[in-house]
C-alpha cells in the first residue's frame, strides 16, 4: 500500500468519513470562464482563480479537493487544440490544488487530500465508436502521469458512463503510477448510466479492481445519485463508497444558470447517506462553499440534519 493510500485510509479511520469538495466548473463560470472555453486552460492562464475555488471549499470544511483536470485527457483537450499539452495541464492542475491544500493544512492543522480528477474522453469505445481500449488506456495513462508529477494523493475517475472506459482508465492510471484510484459513475438515466450500467452491474464489474473507493456523482438529481450510492454500498460493504450529487436540478433564469438544490438539501442528503453507510460525501455541479459548509456542520454533529427533500424533476423556476 502506498503512502498516499495510507493517508486516505487513515483519514477515513480517524473521522469515519471524508468530506469531498463541491463544483469546480460551475464556479469557474462565475469567475470568467465562458461557454466553449477549456476550464483546464485556466490552470495556466488564471491559476489564482483555480486556487480561489479550492480555497473556498477547503475553508468550508472539505477534507479533499479535486484538481481542475476533469477534461484534461488528450481526446477532450484536442477539441481546444491542447492535446499536446496534456502533461503540462495536468501537472499544473495538481500543483495548484496541492498548494491550496498545503496552505489549508498549515492554517488548520488538519489532513487535506488532493485527488486528480479524470473525466471521460467523450469518445465511444469500439465497436460503438472508433476508440480502441488501448488508445483509451493510453489517454488516461498520460493524464495520470501529469497528475502524479503534480503531487496528487490519489486519482479520481469521475462522471463515467461506460464500464469499459472505466476499466481502461484504471489500467492506464496504474500503468502510469502506483497511486490509489477512486471511481464514480453518473447514474443519470432512470437509475442507470447513459450507457446502461446499473449500480448493481457497476459493483459487480468494478468491485474486484481493488479501488480506494467507488460510488456515484453528478446524475439527474440528488435522489437518484443517493440511491445509486446506497445500492453500491449494499453490494460492496467492504469498499468505501462515494456520493457526490449535483446541487439539485439545473435551470435557466434569464441569462444565468441556477440549481434547485439549497445547502440544506445537500446537508440532508449527506446525513442520510452517512447514516446508511456512505463514507465519502461532497457535491458536484452547482455546489458552492455554502453547500459544503452545511454538509460539514451536519456531519460533524454541529447542527441537526435539515428536514427537507429535493423534487425529482424541475417544473418551474423556484
For the stretch 250-293, pLDDT in tens is 888 877 778 999 999 999 999 999 999 999 999 999 999 999 99
Q: Give a yes or no: residue 309 inside a domain.
A: no
Cα-based distances in Å from 164 to 178, 186, 209, 255? 21, 14, 13, 38
Q: Give a yes or no: residue 313 inside a domain.
A: no
Number of structural domains (the chain) is 1
Report the C-alpha gap between 8 and 12 in whole angstroms: 6
Q: Give a yes or no: residue 173 inside a domain.
A: yes
pLDDT at position 23 over 60: yes
Mean confidence (pLDDT) of the chain: 93
Choice between 57 and 10, residue whose per-residue pLDDT is larger: 57
Q: Give a yes or no: residue 155 inside a domain.
A: yes
Look up the CATH number of the domain holding residue 178. Answer: 3.20.20.330
**DSSP assignment string, 75-115:** HHHGGGT-GGGHHHHHHHHHHHHHHHHHHHHHHHTS--EEE
Range of the domain at 202: 3-299
Instruction: Encode pLDDT of 140-189 as tens digits.
Output: 999 999 999 999 999 999 999 999 999 999 999 999 999 999 999 999 99
Q: Give a yes or no: residue 234 inside a domain.
A: yes
SS3 16: coil
> The C-alpha cell of 245 is what?
450529487
Exposed e or buried b for every residue in 158-169, given b needs 16+ CB within 10 A?
Answer: bbbbbbbbbbbb
Q: Beta 256-259 vs 250-253: how paired, if at all?
A: antiparallel
Report the C-alpha gap between 197 and 194 in whole angstroms: 8
Q: What are phi and psi of 191, to 5 degrees?
A: 80, 5
pTM of the model: 0.94
Question: Which pLDDT belongs to residue 1?
Answer: 35
Q: Give a yes or no: residue 315 inside a domain.
A: no
> The C-alpha cell of 254 is what?
434569464
pLDDT at position 315 over 50: no
pLDDT at position 3 over 70: no
Reference 21, options 84, 127, 81, 97; nearest CA is: 97
pLDDT at position 312 over 80: no
Q: Give a yes or no: residue 316 inside a domain.
A: no
Q: Give a yes or no: residue 305 inside a domain.
A: no
Amino acid at each position: 500500500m502506498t503512502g498516499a493510500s495510507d493517508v486516505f485510509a487513515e483519514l477515513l479511520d480517524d473521522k469515519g468519513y471524508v468530506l469531498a469538495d463541491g463544483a469546480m466548473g460551475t464556479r469557474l463560470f462565475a469567475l470568467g470562464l465562458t461557454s466553449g472555453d477549456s476550464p483546464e486552460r485556466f490552470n495556466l492562464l488564471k491559476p489564482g482563480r483555480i486556487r480561489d475555488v479550492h480555497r473556498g471549499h477547503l475553508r468550508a470544511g472539505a477534507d479533499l479537493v479535486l484538481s481542475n483536470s476533469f477534461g484534461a485527457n488528450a481526446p477532450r483537450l484536442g477539441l481546444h487544440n491542447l492535446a499536446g499539452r496534456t502533461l503540462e495541464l495536468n501537472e499544473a492542475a495538481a500543483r495548484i490544488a496541492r498548494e491550496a491544500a498545503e496552505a489549508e493544512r498549515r492554517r488548520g492543522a488538519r489532513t487535506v487530500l488532493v485527488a486528480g480528477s479524470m473525466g471521460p474522453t467523450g469518445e465511444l469505445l469500439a465497436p460503438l465508436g472508433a476508440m480502441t481500449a488501448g488508445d483509451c488506456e493510453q489517454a488516461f495513462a498520460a493524464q495520470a502521469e501529469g497528475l502524479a508529477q503534480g503531487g496528487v494523493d490519489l486519482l479520481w475517475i469521475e462522471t463515467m458512463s461506460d464500464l469499459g472506459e472505466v476499466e481502461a482508465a484504471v489500467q492506464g492510471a496504474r500503468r502510469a503510477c502506483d497511486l490509489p484510484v477512486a471511481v464514480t459513475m453518473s447514474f443519470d438515466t432512470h437509475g442507470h448510466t447513459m450507457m446502461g450500467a446499473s449500480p448493481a452491474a457497476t459493483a459487480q464489474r468494478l468491485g474486484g479492481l481493488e479501488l480506494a473507493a467507488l460510488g456515484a456523482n453528478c446524475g439527474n438529481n440528488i435522489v437518484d445519485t443517493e440511491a445509486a450510492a446506497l445500492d453500491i454500498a449494499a453490494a460492496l460493504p467492504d469498499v468505501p463508497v462515494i456520493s457526490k450529487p449535483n446541487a439539485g436540478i439545473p435551470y435557466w433564469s434569464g441569462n444565468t444558470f441556477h440549481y434547485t438544490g439549497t445547502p440544506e438539501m445537500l446537508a440532508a442528503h449527506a446525513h442520510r447517506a452517512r447514516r446508511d453507510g456512505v463514507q465519502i460525501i461532497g457535491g458536484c455541479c452547482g455546489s458552492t462553499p455554502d453547500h459544503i459548509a452545511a454538509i460539514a456542520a451536519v456531519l460533524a454533529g454541529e447542527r441537526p440534519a435539515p428536514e427537507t427533500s429535493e423534487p425529482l424533476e424541475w417544473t418551474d423556476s423556484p
